[in-house]
Structure formats: structure tokens, C-alpha cells
């Protein structure tokens, strides 16, 4: 099952609540959290703290929604593989955008726009996050231009999956330009509340 919009998540909730037998057919859930789009002008600027806070809120709310849907699901022997990624529709680099960025790199930072904006799941939200026993494999992180997730946040999310047997994380700790950010990420300090 691919859940790539809020609308698809709502449909998923409705379909699996109406017919619980359908749950037994699901082995993989690919959740792509749709972050807020940004303007063409904003492509030339790093993500602001306001945008980052808003994206964190969408990230947390979507994960809470999915876990609430999956909480009552029964354990199955094989379990379910959950993949979580996040991306804004504006992050997608079309051939036209790529061509424009090569011509004038100052007007489009491309993936560098959000390279220092790690998505975060704070401990504050952990109490409201239900445990999900149906998930046995978690894949979390970025592929291509998907957004980075703070490593400590990955651990917090995984802590709510008591039957977890396998974890695949795509983490980045190569921030060389911003040593304070690198130290913050290594120490697991969350900056959202």
C-alpha cells in the first residue's frame, strides 16, 4: 500500500476499518509524508525556522495518524513492513527545473535548501503515540531528494513498535559546514516543542 497524501491515508483508514479482513492482505505500507509546498522564489533560500517547524508538525501529525489507524491491528506471524519518508511536492526536480538551476544556480538551491533541516519527532509527542504490534520491519529515512530525519527521532518512533525485528535507517551525519548542527544531531537534541 502506498500512502502518499493525506487523502490516501484517510481512505486507508476508512477501507481497513470497514472490512478488517483486508488487513490480513497487507504486508508493506509505504508512507510518504507530504510536506508543505514552497514557492519558486523560496527555492533560492534555505528553509526558514517557520517552515521547518510547520514541516515537523506535519511529520509528527501524519505518523500519529498512521499509528492510531494501525494500533488495533492484530499481530500476524509475518508482520508488516513500514517504510516512512517525507517530501514536499516542491522538492521534486523536473528536467526543466534542473536546466534552469544549472543556468542560474543562485536562484535554485535544489536539495541544499533543506539539507540542514532534519525532521524531528520530539519526546513530547511520544506519550500520544500508540504502540503498534503489527509492524515488524521499519525503514525510515531518505532516498534521493527525500528529507532527512533526526537520528534520535528514528529511535523514538521505533520505540513504539514492540515487535520490531528489523530496522533500516538512512541517516546522514556528514554536516561539515555547520559544526553546531552536527553536534546537535549527534547528541539527539530536539529543537521542536
Please provide residue 5's backbone torsions phi and psi, each rounded to the nearest 5 degrees: -145, 160
User: What strands lie across the sheet with 2-3, from one edge to the other?
Assistant: 2-3, 28-34, 80-87, 135-141, 166-170
Task: Answer for the pair 130, 168: CB distance below 8 angstroms, yes or no.
Answer: no
The residue count of the chain comes to 193
Joined grid coordinates for residue 186: 549527534
142 vs 171: CA distance, rounded Å: 8
29 vs 120: CA distance, rounded Å: 21
Average pLDDT, the chain: 85
pLDDT of amino acid 192: 44
pLDDT band at 69 (very low <50, low <70, confident <90, very high): very high
Each residue's pLDDT tens digit, 151-176 = 889 999 999 999 999 999 887 655 56
Q: Residue 31 pLDDT > 80, yes or no?
A: yes
Q: Residue 51 pLDDT > 70, yes or no?
A: yes
Structure pTM? 0.85
Amino acid at each position: 500500500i502506498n500512502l502518499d497524501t493525506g487523502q490516501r491515508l484517510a481512505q486507508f483508514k476508512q477501507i481497513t476499518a470497514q472490512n478488517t479482513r483486508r488487513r490480513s492482505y497487507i504486508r508493506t505500507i509505504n508512507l510518504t509524508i507530504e510536506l508543505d509546498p514552497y514557492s519558486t522564489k523560496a527555492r533560492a533560500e534555505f528553509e526558514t525556522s517557520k517552515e521547518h517547524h510547520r514541516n515537523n508538525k506535519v511529520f509528527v501529525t501524519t505518523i500519529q495518524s498512521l499509528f492510531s489507524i494501525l494500533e488495533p491491528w492484530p499481530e500476524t506471524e509475518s508482520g508488516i513492513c513500514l517504510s516512512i519518508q517525507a517530501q514536499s511536492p516542491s522538492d521534486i526536480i523536473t528536467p526543466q527545473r534542473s536546466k534552469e538551476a544549472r543556468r542560474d544556480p543562485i536562484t535554485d538551491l535544489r536539495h541544499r535548501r533543506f539539507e540542514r533541516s532534519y525532521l524531528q519527532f520530539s519526546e513530547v509527542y511520544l506519550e500520544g503515540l500508540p504502540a503498534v504490534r503489527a509492524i515488524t520491519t521499519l525503514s525510515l529515512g531518505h532516498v534521493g531528494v527525500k528529507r532527512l530525519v533526526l537520528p534520535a527521532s528514528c529511535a523514538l518512533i521505533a520505540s513504539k513498535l514492540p515487535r520490531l525485528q528489523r530496522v533500516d535507517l538512512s541517516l546522514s551525519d556528514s554536516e561539515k559546514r555547520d559544526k553546531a548542527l552536527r553536534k546537535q544531531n549527534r547528541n539527539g537534541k530536539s529543537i521542536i516543542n
